[in-house]
Amino acid sequence: MVKILENKIPDILIALLFGLTLSIILLPVVLPLTISFSSSYVITFPPQGFTLKWFTNILLFKSLIDGFRFSLILGITASLTAIVMSLPATYAFYRYNFKFKGYLGNLLLSPSLVPEIVLSFLLLMYFKALKISYSLWLFLGHVLILIPYATRYIYASLVNLDVSLEDAAVSLGATRLRAFIDVIIPNIAKGIIAGFLLSFITSFNAFSISLFLSYGETLPLPIAMWNYLQVRYDPTIAALSTILVFFTLTLSLIVRKIIGLRGLK
């Protein structure tokens, strides 16, 4: 009896639980996306009919297209900057021991500990007080929230790297810089790419910081979408959301492919 309980029932239970959990997680995401194929002119659920016109409709709205382009450029530049800034910092943490290393490490990761909305508000006050040019606000804010992501992934790939690799290259005649380029960079390339892609996704999706710090005519995509919804309530946004889900999903899959599941721990 006990044997049966141990072997058979849990298998079925686990399968059921798994299916239930999966549907709880996925249904709220997937079901509303079906609205993007609905032929109704307002957002209703369940969707009615089938059409692809909402997808083509996206192209008619300059604010959405510009927003997409702007978010793309912002995401790429801010992520690259965050990566470039994180590299020397993570390297120092990997290579050297120094006073307050633990505290400094926490400090480096701290923007992710402050709620984004609070951080956004504080940055707004801060940039204003420092009289920093409006055009830089978004960029600086995004770099700041991305650094913890970039740092984490680069550090994760560095931490497994044998510290004596660089010494080995140096003993064979390479300068420190040459050793870093020849030996360290190729071994953390995956971490750098993963850090970049995840930073990019984070930047692309960042809402409150973009809302607080954007200025002028061109707005990042999340804000452009939000503004659109203020005026219109048709399935265009649902169509755009469908595209964005697949866009982010593809990037996430690339990251997984690069670093593998083990690298995500």
Partner 1 sequence: MKYLVLDNVTFHYQKGEYVLKNLNLSVDKGEILALLGESGSGKTTLLKIIAGFLKPKEGRVVIDGKDVTNLPPNKRNIGIVFQNYALFPHMSVLDNIIYGLKVRRTPREEAIRRAKELIDLLNLSGLENKRPSQLSGGQQQRVAIARALIIEPKILLMDEPMSNIDPKLRSKLRAEIKKILKKLNITTVYVTHDQEDAFEIGDRIAILHKGVIENADTPQNILRNPKTVYVASFIGYENIIPITRIRELLDLDVININEREYTDVGIRATSIKLSGEPLDNIDYVALKGRIELVSYKKDIISYQVHTPIGTLEVHSYDGSFREGESVYANIYKKGLVFLK
Stretch that binds partner 1, among 62-70, 84-92, 108-116, 169-177 (CB under 8 A): 169-177
* Whole-angstrom distance, CA of residue 69 vs CA of residue 50: 29
Under rule CB under 8 A, residue 162 binds partner 1: yes
Closest CA to 226 of 211, 242, 245, 243: 211
Please answer whether residues 227 and 219 qualify as being in contact, where contact means their C-beta atoms are separated by less than 8 angstroms.
yes
Nearer to partner 1, 78 or 179 (CB): 179
Q: Which is nearer to partner 1, 48 or 175 (CB)?
A: 175
* DSSP single-letter state for residue 133: -
Q: Is residue 175 near partner 1 by the rule CB under 8 A?
A: yes
The stretch among 37-45, 100-108, 183-191, 197-205 that binds partner 1 (CB under 8 A) is 183-191
Which CB, 97 or 230, lies closer to partner 1? 97
What are the CA-CA distances from residue 75 to residues 80, 118, 143, 148, 185 (Å)? 8, 21, 9, 15, 23
Q: Does 165 bind partner 1 (CB under 8 A)?
A: yes
Q: Is 182 in the site for partner 1 (CB under 8 A)?
A: yes
Residues 52 and 205 sit within 8 Å (Cβ to Cβ)? no
Q: How far apart are the first and last CA of the chain?
A: 39
The amino acid occupying position 89 is: A
Rounded-to-10 torsion of CA 26, 29, 30, 31: 110
Q: Is 262 in the site for partner 1 (CB under 8 A)?
A: no
CB 95, min distance to partner 1, A? 12
Q: Could you tell me which residues come within 8 angstroms of residue 31 by beta carbon, excluding any fewer than 6 positions away? A: 45
User: In the Cβ-directed half-sphere of 60, how many Cα atoms lie within 13 Å?
Assistant: 8
Nearer to partner 1, 182 or 234 (CB): 182
**Residues sharing a CB contact under 8 Å with residue 97, sequence separation 6 or more, in sequence order:** none
Which CB atom, from 6 or from 162, has the smaller least distance to partner 1? 162
Question: In whole angstroms, what is the distance from residue 253 CA to residue 260 CA?
Answer: 10
168 binds partner 1 (CB under 8 A): yes
CA distance 54 to 240: 8
- Shortest Cβ 222–partner 1 spacing (Å): 38
We find the least distance from the C-beta atom of residue 175 to partner 1, in angstroms, to be 6
- Which two structure tokens, joined as six digits, stand for 96? 């050297």
Residue 172 interacts with partner 1 (CB under 8 A)? yes
- 173 sits near partner 1 (criterion: CB under 8 A): yes
Site for partner 1 in 200-219 (CB under 8 A): none
By CB under 8 A, residue 186 contacts partner 1: yes
The only residue of 174, 193, 243, 258 in contact with partner 1, by rule CB under 8 A = 174
Stretch binding partner 1 (CB under 8 A), from 47-55, 182-190, 205-213, 250-258: 182-190
Is position 167 an interface residue for partner 1 (rule: CB under 8 A)? yes
Instruction: List residues binding partner 1 (CB under 8 A).
Output: 162, 164-165, 167-175, 178, 182-183, 186-187
